[in-house]
A and B are shown apart, each in its own frame.
Chain A
């Protein structure tokens, strides 16, 4: 089992460019999440998908869109990147006892 995988690991964008972060899990979990983590700010929820076919906003959804492609995959899209979106992005899925499992993260820099 690979658990939660994310691509890419690193990305540098110019302001205004777009990109999609990919996430997949092989644990047959229903719920999936996108977080960002910034120094001193902790983990902040961007969007989540409680089950296939549903998505909901978290604390900081502005500037992002998501797609729950199927039960395994949950992608995060930045349509027009801004320097404020420079961060580390983590995808996670939730197990049967509400515990979350994280992917390795994507380090994004927007210049």
Chain B
């Protein structure tokens, strides 16, 4: 059973701090990794994708990938109350590249 694991949270950080969200996966052959943000009552929205080891930065977001450790993380710098949401990690199924394997998500609360 291929799995993606995330801490459910809630993760609570003060406004302006760095929020660190983590994800581990079991499918060693996975090559594509995604972070989605989901506000309450809304659909998941893609915020970052990463395909190679190392860091990828986009504005206040940095995704980090370590394939050897089967670990992907998302850092949110200068956290804002508007970042309060559930963050979903998704990993491309190495055996079927039409399917993503989803984590259950981490709830983030940014306190003013």
Nearest B-chain residue to A41, judged by Cβ: B104
A contact residues around B45 at 8 Å (CB): 102
How many A-B pairs with Cβ below 8 Å?
43
Contacts A100-B46, A100-B100 given: A42-B92 contact, CB under 8 Å? no
> Which of A45, A102, A105 has the largest number of chain B CB atoms within 10 A?
A102
Which of A14-22, A63-71, A75-83, A90-98 forms part of the interface with chain B?
A90-98
Complex CA gap A94/B92 in Å reads: 11
Interface range on chain B (Cβ under 8 Å from partner):
20 to 34
Complex CA gap A103/B8 in Å reads: 24
User: Residues on B close to A: CB < 8 A?
Assistant: 32, 34, 42-46, 49, 51, 88, 90, 92, 97-100, 102-105
User: Residues on A close to B: CB < 8 A?
Assistant: 31, 40-43, 45, 48, 50, 58, 90, 94, 97-105
A-B contact pairs, 16 of them (CB 8 A): A41-B104, A42-B88, A43-B102, A45-B99, A48-B99, A50-B98, A94-B98, A98-B32, A98-B34, A98-B97, A99-B46, A99-B49, A100-B34, A101-B46, A102-B45, A105-B43
